[in-house]
A and B are shown apart, each in its own frame.
Chain A
């Protein structure tokens, strides 16, 4: 059996990838995908621990996160689309509106 630490290292790597993506990418869609990546990294940790402990709760949490991620994806995509419609771009550098 593959040891749990491998899964965790993979999850950490995925999380860092996602985080760096969120922090440095300019395309809103890519940022969005990176968030999904971070969520899945968390999912992977849950499932890995659940497997090691033989516990169903971890799986349950993973399902919850998948459901929430789906909802978040639909809302987020809708925002990205309406953003594109109103501004004609999905570059977040150009849609600063929090400071004026």
Chain B
């Protein structure tokens, strides 16, 4: 055992050079995107597959190497505040600077981004492999793989960035690729519209992200301007802190995560104080921090499909299914959770923001689960399920269980990607039939798809026996129940109740989708009489993902025993693994006491049993109803309709936001565009020029002598004027 541990903790490469080579992980898929996009049509389908898979595969190998390196005890990433252990990174110089503001190009991989690296490139590779078969009849294959590779590059930038602006580059990059891929079949207006809807909804969130980071800059700079005695921290001299802080600011700029982390360490004593200089004058540090974090929440809500910006994700299913699996289930939509894990040290300073995130997350989870109840499209069910699971992750963030939220990100990436790819396989084998009421009986006809889909369904619901999703979801709900957010105990318990109900609903709608698709007799109005199993290139990723969905349950088991302050605390593997990432966060929790984290002693059997009973009730009901294809009683029909129509949220947005906006745009068009710009600005200029020309043309006689006379007169006038000047 020790030997294995030593093996995995001794990387084959030097950590420093690994840090400097991090850019290669991004560059490979970027190059792949370039080759596929520019030469794809020339080099042909097989070569495009080779390039795209090779790029992501190479990226995966490098990521694995980096992951190995960050487990090395020698690994340390240089930051202005001393080296960070269990991380690698490098700074590639100034990106841009303006006055005292500066942003550097820096990449860093720690345990958090390292895990994301493996998920992105690993699941990404499997989905690329799957796509080679799934898109085998599409003429736009080169475009598809170029976008897919570009997406992987952007997502890797997002997780490797060591500063907010670089993270934002990745953030925008994935948004753009998402737009391109949702509208991949752009000749269908509905699909192109879905792409635009996703893009615009994301823009609203991005606006929040940007303004949030502007406020963060002001906040950091107002702290840097404080006198030394205000920056006192336990065990450190004020002047030393100030000096180091100033150095870091001039070296890395205010938005580097290391500087933000240092700011978070300084903030606890300042929260109630007012800012004395700068644009934020007169407001307290705590308020501004809260505002910035709420704006970040808006950004995360856009990207990760939370209330009120979740409406784009279900429509995003217009894209090809592998896209839904990669972007809208496994990676991009989890970037909001990743962002909050990154800046968790700021979150724990503001219980108001924490509880807001928790309530938004829980509400989204519950509402989306209710909508998933009655959807008939298999991808729609999975889409709302994704929104719901993302809501659970936000609940985890909101109650301070950052590791649990991140564990759910990882396990969800596995089983939800598997479910989506399974759905794609079902559609592929059934003549693109999406309606689960017109499928059925696929268990025998598509055995591999059936088996993997079943395993993933069990993983997400915890039905039959607990797999990965059960543990990660339960860790979140457990934390929602037992952690304590200062001053908001009631709201937090409300969020917990919603979360538990979501777990119940999840079991129900997932089992419903499963039963309708795979069990029972084949529907009478099925498109094809007999379905055919998909090719190995499609089933192999399914099998790997299903295995991962099972294996990753290990991360949720409380296997690590840590002695902390004379007490032995039980931690899950993931919690222990992410400990270096959340060290500052945990220190701040202990210092500030805004959030209390309940500590575990041994395995939480009671909670597990409770969660299992919940899953059994939900899943069992679905099995009973849909196993026998029972008809819904008429009394429930209005409810079903309400849920089927997604609580009319799209229509509400149409009425409250889009209509007034369209009206306003039209009004502006009539008044400002038509009258001011077209009428006065453009036509007015033409009119003026014409009139001026009309008057001036009488002076052009074409008589050279006349011109000469005018010239002579002018010269004579000038002479007279000069003489008068001299004379006076």
Q: Which residues does A use to contact B, with CB under 8 Å?
A: 19, 22-24, 31, 92, 96-100
What is the bound-complex CA distance between A100 and B701, given in angstroms?
Answer: 9
- Quote the shortest CB–CB distance from A61 to chain B (angstroms): 20
Q: Which among B702, B708, B709, B712 is the interface contact of A96 at CB below 8 angstroms? A: B702
- Quote the shortest CB–CB distance from A29 to chain B (angstroms): 15
What is the bound-complex CA distance between A92 and B700, given in angstroms?
Answer: 17
Verify if B703 is at the interface (C-beta below 8 Å from A). Answer: yes
Residues of A within 8 A of B703 (CB): 96, 98-99
Would you give 22 A-B contacts (Cβ < 8 Å), ordered by A? A19-B712, A22-B705, A22-B708, A23-B705, A23-B708, A23-B709, A23-B712, A24-B705, A31-B705, A92-B704, A92-B705, A96-B702, A96-B703, A97-B702, A98-B702, A98-B703, A98-B704, A99-B700, A99-B701, A99-B702, A99-B703, A100-B702
What is the bound-complex CA distance between A97 and B703, given in angstroms?
Answer: 9
What is the bound-complex CA distance between A24 and B702, given in angstroms?
Answer: 15
What is the bound-complex CA distance between A100 and B703, given in angstroms?
Answer: 11
Residues of B within 8 A of A100 (CB): 702
Contact with A along B245-279 (1 / 0, CB 8 A): 00000000000000000000000000000000000
Residue of B nearest to A20 (CB): B712
Residue of B nearest to A100 (CB): B702
Residues of B within 8 A of A92 (CB): 704-705
Residues of B within 8 A of A96 (CB): 702-703
Residue of A nearest to B713 (CB): A23
What is the bound-complex CA distance between A10 and B709, given in angstroms?
Answer: 22
What is the bound-complex CA distance between A98 and B706, given in angstroms?
Answer: 12
Residues of A within 8 A of B704 (CB): 92, 98
What is the bound-complex CA distance between A5 and B705, given in angstroms?
Answer: 31
Residues of A within 8 A of B702 (CB): 96-100
Residues of B within 8 A of A97 (CB): 702
Contact with A along B689-722 (1 / 0, CB 8 A): 0000000000011111100110010000000000
Contact with A along B673-703 (1 / 0, CB 8 A): 0000000000000000000000000001111
Residue of A nearest to B705 (CB): A23
- Quote the shortest CB–CB distance from A94 to chain B (angstroms): 12
Residues of A within 8 A of B709 (CB): 23
What is the bound-complex CA distance between A37 and B519, given in angstroms?
Answer: 114
Q: Which residues does B use to contact A, with CB under 8 Å?
A: 700-705, 708-709, 712
Residues of B within 8 A of A98 (CB): 702-704
Beyond A19-B712, A92-B705, list 5 extra A-B contacts (CB 8 Å): A23-B708, A24-B705, A98-B702, A99-B700, A99-B702
Q: Is the interface of A mostly helix, strand, loop or mixed?
A: helix
5 shortest interchain CB distances as A-B pairs: A99-B702, A98-B702, A23-B709, A96-B702, A23-B705
Residues of B within 8 A of A99 (CB): 700-703
- Quote the shortest CB–CB distance from A62 to chain B (angstroms): 22
What is the bound-complex CA distance between A79 and B712, given in angstroms?
Answer: 24
What is the bound-complex CA distance between A98 and B708, given in angstroms?
Answer: 14
- Quote the shortest CB–CB distance from B718 to chain A (angstroms): 15
Residue of B nearest to A22 (CB): B708
What is the bound-complex CA distance between A19 and B712, given in angstroms?
Answer: 8
- Quote the shortest CB–CB distance from A15 to chain B (angstroms): 10
Residues of B within 8 A of A24 (CB): 705
What is the bound-complex CA distance between A99 and B702, given in angstroms?
Answer: 5
- Quote the shortest CB–CB distance from A74 to chain B (angstroms): 20
- Quote the shortest CB–CB distance from B713 to chain A (angstroms): 10
Residue of B nearest to A26 (CB): B705
Residues of B within 8 A of A31 (CB): 705
Residues of A within 8 A of B701 (CB): 99
Residue of B nearest to A19 (CB): B712
What is the bound-complex CA distance between A70 and B701, given in angstroms?
Answer: 31
Residue of A nearest to B697 (CB): A99
Residue of A nearest to B701 (CB): A99
Residues of A within 8 A of B712 (CB): 19, 23
What is the bound-complex CA distance between A64 and B8, given in angstroms?
Answer: 94
- Quote the shortest CB–CB distance from A5 to chain B (angstroms): 16
Residue of B nearest to A31 (CB): B705
What is the bound-complex CA distance between A96 and B705, given in angstroms?
Answer: 11
- Quote the shortest CB–CB distance from B708 to chain A (angstroms): 6
Residue of A nearest to B702 (CB): A99
Residues of B within 8 A of A23 (CB): 705, 708-709, 712
Residue of A nearest to B703 (CB): A96
Residue of B nearest to A98 (CB): B702
What is the bound-complex CA distance between A98 and B701, given in angstroms?
Answer: 8
What is the bound-complex CA distance between A18 and B564, given in angstroms?
Answer: 111
What is the bound-complex CA distance between A55 and B60, given in angstroms?
Answer: 89
Residue of B nearest to A99 (CB): B702
What is the bound-complex CA distance between A96 and B708, given in angstroms?
Answer: 15
What is the bound-complex CA distance between A99 and B704, given in angstroms?
Answer: 10
What is the bound-complex CA distance between A23 and B710, given in angstroms?
Answer: 10
- Quote the shortest CB–CB distance from B702 to chain A (angstroms): 2
Residues of A within 8 A of B708 (CB): 22-23
- Quote the shortest CB–CB distance from A20 to chain B (angstroms): 9
What is the bound-complex CA distance between A95 and B502, given in angstroms?
Answer: 97
Residue of B nearest to A24 (CB): B705
What is the bound-complex CA distance between A11 and B293, given in angstroms?
Answer: 87
- Quote the shortest CB–CB distance from B482 to chain A (angstroms): 96
What is the bound-complex CA distance between A54 and B705, given in angstroms?
Answer: 39
Residues of A within 8 A of B700 (CB): 99
- Quote the shortest CB–CB distance from A64 to chain B (angstroms): 22
B705, B708, B712: most-surrounded residue (chain A CB, <10 A)? B705
Residue of A nearest to B712 (CB): A19
- Quote the shortest CB–CB distance from A53 to chain B (angstroms): 21
- Quote the shortest CB–CB distance from A91 to chain B (angstroms): 12
- Quote the shortest CB–CB distance from A34 to chain B (angstroms): 11
What is the bound-complex CA distance between A24 and B701, given in angstroms?
Answer: 16
Residues of B within 8 A of A22 (CB): 705, 708
